[in-house]
Amino acid sequence: MITADLSKKRSLVTGGASGIGLATTELFARCGAKVAMNDLSGNPNLEREVQRLQEDGLDVIAAPGNVGDAEDCKRMVTQAIADLGGLDHLINNAGTPGTKSPIPLSDLEAVDEELWGRIMDVNLLGAYLCARTAAKALKDGGGAIVNTASQAGLTGMGSSLAYAVSKAGLINLTRSLARGLAPEVRVNCIAPGMVDSPWECRFPGYDSPDRGEIVPLKMV
Protein backbone atom coordinates (compact mmCIF):
# COMPACT_ATOMS: atom_id res chain seq x y z
CA MET A 1 0.00 0.00 0.00
CA ILE A 2 1.23 3.49 -0.86
CA THR A 3 2.22 5.51 2.20
CA ALA A 4 3.00 9.19 2.61
CA ASP A 5 2.81 11.71 5.40
CA LEU A 6 -0.16 13.94 4.65
CA SER A 7 -0.57 15.17 8.21
CA LYS A 8 -2.17 18.62 8.40
CA LYS A 9 -3.00 18.48 4.67
CA ARG A 10 -6.53 19.25 3.50
CA SER A 11 -8.00 17.54 0.47
CA LEU A 12 -11.20 17.69 -1.57
CA VAL A 13 -12.01 14.61 -3.66
CA THR A 14 -14.91 14.92 -6.10
CA GLY A 15 -16.80 11.80 -7.09
CA GLY A 16 -15.44 10.34 -3.89
CA ALA A 17 -18.15 7.90 -2.84
CA SER A 18 -17.10 5.03 -5.11
CA GLY A 19 -14.37 3.66 -7.35
CA ILE A 20 -11.15 5.62 -7.78
CA GLY A 21 -12.53 8.52 -5.77
CA LEU A 22 -13.32 6.38 -2.75
CA ALA A 23 -9.94 4.65 -2.89
CA THR A 24 -8.24 8.06 -3.09
CA THR A 25 -10.25 9.46 -0.20
CA GLU A 26 -9.43 6.51 2.02
CA LEU A 27 -5.74 6.49 1.09
CA PHE A 28 -5.32 10.22 1.74
CA ALA A 29 -7.16 9.95 5.06
CA ARG A 30 -5.07 6.96 6.17
CA CYS A 31 -1.97 9.00 5.34
CA GLY A 32 -3.14 11.71 7.74
CA ALA A 33 -5.04 14.18 5.57
CA LYS A 34 -8.39 15.72 6.43
CA VAL A 35 -10.57 14.90 3.43
CA ALA A 36 -13.84 16.32 2.13
CA MET A 37 -15.58 13.60 0.13
CA ASN A 38 -17.83 14.97 -2.60
CA ASP A 39 -20.59 13.20 -4.46
CA LEU A 40 -24.12 13.96 -5.56
CA SER A 41 -26.53 15.10 -2.87
CA GLY A 42 -28.80 12.21 -1.96
CA ASN A 43 -26.30 9.55 -2.99
CA PRO A 44 -26.62 6.97 -0.18
CA ASN A 45 -23.02 5.87 -0.76
CA LEU A 46 -21.75 9.30 0.31
CA GLU A 47 -23.10 9.26 3.86
CA ARG A 48 -22.48 5.53 4.22
CA GLU A 49 -18.81 5.73 3.22
CA VAL A 50 -18.16 8.88 5.25
CA GLN A 51 -19.64 7.19 8.31
CA ARG A 52 -17.59 4.03 7.69
CA LEU A 53 -14.35 5.97 7.44
CA GLN A 54 -15.16 8.13 10.45
CA GLU A 55 -15.90 5.03 12.52
CA ASP A 56 -12.45 3.81 11.50
CA GLY A 57 -10.96 6.93 13.07
CA LEU A 58 -10.32 8.83 9.83
CA ASP A 59 -10.86 12.57 9.39
CA VAL A 60 -13.38 12.56 6.55
CA ILE A 61 -16.38 14.85 6.01
CA ALA A 62 -19.15 14.88 3.42
CA ALA A 63 -19.26 17.58 0.73
CA PRO A 64 -22.46 16.90 -1.25
CA GLY A 65 -23.01 18.74 -4.51
CA ASN A 66 -23.21 18.53 -8.29
CA VAL A 67 -19.95 19.62 -9.93
CA GLY A 68 -21.73 19.92 -13.28
CA ASP A 69 -23.96 22.72 -11.97
CA ALA A 70 -22.10 26.03 -11.71
CA GLU A 71 -23.86 27.42 -8.65
CA ASP A 72 -23.97 24.14 -6.75
CA CYS A 73 -20.32 23.46 -7.55
CA LYS A 74 -19.23 26.88 -6.31
CA ARG A 75 -21.26 26.41 -3.13
CA MET A 76 -19.85 22.93 -2.52
CA VAL A 77 -16.20 23.87 -3.03
CA THR A 78 -16.51 27.06 -0.98
CA GLN A 79 -18.16 25.16 1.88
CA ALA A 80 -15.58 22.37 1.74
CA ILE A 81 -12.72 24.86 1.96
CA ALA A 82 -14.39 26.51 4.96
CA ASP A 83 -15.00 23.17 6.68
CA LEU A 84 -11.43 22.02 6.04
CA GLY A 85 -9.89 25.33 7.06
CA GLY A 86 -8.14 25.74 3.71
CA LEU A 87 -7.16 23.48 0.83
CA ASP A 88 -3.95 21.73 -0.22
CA HIS A 89 -5.23 19.14 -2.70
CA LEU A 90 -8.07 19.19 -5.23
CA ILE A 91 -8.74 15.80 -6.82
CA ASN A 92 -11.08 16.34 -9.77
CA ASN A 93 -12.32 12.78 -10.01
CA ALA A 94 -16.06 13.20 -10.60
CA GLY A 95 -17.09 11.79 -13.95
CA THR A 96 -19.94 10.13 -15.76
CA PRO A 97 -20.25 7.90 -18.81
CA GLY A 98 -23.71 9.42 -19.22
CA THR A 99 -25.30 6.09 -20.15
CA LYS A 100 -26.11 2.74 -18.58
CA SER A 101 -24.14 0.84 -21.21
CA PRO A 102 -21.40 1.65 -23.76
CA ILE A 103 -22.40 3.31 -27.05
CA PRO A 104 -20.51 2.23 -30.20
CA LEU A 105 -18.40 5.08 -31.58
CA SER A 106 -20.11 4.59 -34.94
CA ASP A 107 -23.57 5.30 -33.50
CA LEU A 108 -23.56 9.09 -33.76
CA GLU A 109 -27.35 9.33 -33.52
CA ALA A 110 -27.27 7.81 -30.02
CA VAL A 111 -25.25 10.76 -28.71
CA ASP A 112 -27.74 13.61 -28.81
CA GLU A 113 -27.22 17.15 -27.57
CA GLU A 114 -28.62 16.41 -24.12
CA LEU A 115 -26.32 13.45 -23.53
CA TRP A 116 -23.33 15.34 -24.94
CA GLY A 117 -24.01 18.28 -22.64
CA ARG A 118 -24.50 16.12 -19.55
CA ILE A 119 -21.19 14.32 -20.08
CA MET A 120 -19.28 17.53 -20.78
CA ASP A 121 -20.82 19.32 -17.80
CA VAL A 122 -19.60 16.72 -15.32
CA ASN A 123 -16.38 15.46 -16.90
CA LEU A 124 -14.94 18.72 -18.21
CA LEU A 125 -16.83 21.79 -17.01
CA GLY A 126 -17.01 20.41 -13.47
CA ALA A 127 -13.24 20.10 -13.23
CA TYR A 128 -12.82 23.68 -14.44
CA LEU A 129 -15.44 25.02 -12.04
CA CYS A 130 -13.82 23.27 -9.09
CA ALA A 131 -10.36 24.52 -10.06
CA ARG A 132 -11.61 28.07 -10.55
CA THR A 133 -13.34 28.16 -7.19
CA ALA A 134 -10.45 26.53 -5.35
CA ALA A 135 -7.63 28.43 -7.06
CA LYS A 136 -7.10 31.12 -4.41
CA ALA A 137 -7.06 28.67 -1.51
CA LEU A 138 -4.67 26.39 -3.37
CA LYS A 139 -2.36 29.28 -4.23
CA ASP A 140 -2.29 30.41 -0.60
CA GLY A 141 -0.93 27.04 0.47
CA GLY A 142 1.11 26.05 -2.57
CA GLY A 143 -1.30 23.24 -3.34
CA ALA A 144 -1.90 20.77 -6.12
CA ILE A 145 -4.65 19.64 -8.48
CA VAL A 146 -4.93 16.15 -9.91
CA ASN A 147 -7.52 15.47 -12.62
CA THR A 148 -8.77 11.95 -13.31
CA ALA A 149 -8.77 11.65 -17.09
CA SER A 150 -8.82 8.34 -19.00
CA GLN A 151 -7.06 6.38 -21.69
CA ALA A 152 -10.18 7.22 -23.71
CA GLY A 153 -8.88 10.79 -23.89
CA LEU A 154 -5.66 9.57 -25.49
CA THR A 155 -6.96 6.83 -27.78
CA GLY A 156 -10.38 8.15 -28.79
CA MET A 157 -11.92 4.87 -27.64
CA GLY A 158 -14.24 4.64 -24.66
CA SER A 159 -17.79 4.16 -23.50
CA SER A 160 -19.00 6.73 -26.03
CA LEU A 161 -17.68 9.34 -28.43
CA ALA A 162 -18.72 12.12 -26.05
CA TYR A 163 -16.94 10.46 -23.12
CA ALA A 164 -13.68 10.14 -25.07
CA VAL A 165 -13.87 13.77 -26.18
CA SER A 166 -14.59 14.97 -22.63
CA LYS A 167 -11.51 13.18 -21.31
CA ALA A 168 -9.34 14.54 -24.12
CA GLY A 169 -10.54 17.98 -23.13
CA LEU A 170 -9.70 17.27 -19.50
CA ILE A 171 -6.14 16.36 -20.45
CA ASN A 172 -5.69 19.68 -22.23
CA LEU A 173 -7.45 21.53 -19.40
CA THR A 174 -4.76 20.06 -17.16
CA ARG A 175 -2.03 21.45 -19.40
CA SER A 176 -3.62 24.89 -19.52
CA LEU A 177 -4.26 25.03 -15.78
CA ALA A 178 -0.68 23.95 -15.12
CA ARG A 179 0.50 26.98 -17.09
CA GLY A 180 -2.10 29.34 -15.70
CA LEU A 181 -1.69 28.48 -12.02
CA ALA A 182 2.09 28.05 -11.96
CA PRO A 183 4.24 28.40 -9.97
CA GLU A 184 2.02 28.38 -6.89
CA VAL A 185 -0.13 25.39 -7.85
CA ARG A 186 0.97 22.15 -9.50
CA VAL A 187 -1.56 20.58 -11.87
CA ASN A 188 -1.36 17.03 -13.20
CA CYS A 189 -3.67 14.31 -14.43
CA ILE A 190 -3.83 10.55 -14.49
CA ALA A 191 -5.29 8.57 -17.39
CA PRO A 192 -6.40 5.15 -16.13
CA GLY A 193 -7.34 2.31 -18.43
CA MET A 194 -9.69 -0.49 -17.39
CA VAL A 195 -10.45 -0.43 -13.66
CA ASP A 196 -12.21 -3.13 -11.66
CA SER A 197 -15.55 -1.41 -11.09
CA PRO A 198 -19.30 -1.99 -11.61
CA TRP A 199 -19.16 0.13 -14.79
CA GLU A 200 -16.30 -1.73 -16.45
CA CYS A 201 -18.07 -5.08 -16.08
CA ARG A 202 -20.57 -3.89 -18.70
CA PHE A 203 -17.91 -4.03 -21.42
CA PRO A 204 -17.68 -7.17 -23.56
CA GLY A 205 -14.78 -9.35 -22.48
CA TYR A 206 -14.49 -7.68 -19.07
CA ASP A 207 -13.97 -11.00 -17.30
CA SER A 208 -11.64 -12.46 -19.93
CA PRO A 209 -8.47 -13.96 -18.41
CA ASP A 210 -6.53 -12.36 -21.29
CA ARG A 211 -7.41 -8.75 -20.38
CA GLY A 212 -4.07 -8.20 -18.71
CA GLU A 213 -2.20 -9.06 -21.89
CA ILE A 214 -3.22 -5.80 -23.58
CA VAL A 215 -1.49 -3.55 -21.02
CA PRO A 216 2.26 -3.12 -20.51
CA LEU A 217 2.23 -4.31 -16.89
CA LYS A 218 0.38 -7.50 -17.94
CA MET A 219 -2.03 -7.01 -15.07
CA VAL A 220 -5.31 -5.23 -14.36
Q: What is the 3-state secondary structure (H, E, C) of the chain?
A: CCCCCCCCCEEEECCCCCHHHHHHHHHHHHCCCEEEEEECCCCHHHHHHHHHHHHCCCCEEEEECCCCCHHHHHHHHHHHHHHHCCCCEEEECCCCCCCCCCCCCCCHHHCCHHHHHHHHHHHHHHHHHHHHHHHHHHHHHCCEEEEECCCHHHHCCCCCHHHHHHHHHHHHHHHHHHHHHCCCCEEEEECCCCCCCCCHHHCCCCCCCCHHHHCCCCCC
Amino acid at 84: L
206 is annotated as an active-site residue: no
Check 25, 63, 163, 167 and give the catalytic one: 163
Any idea which residues carry the catalytic annotation?
163
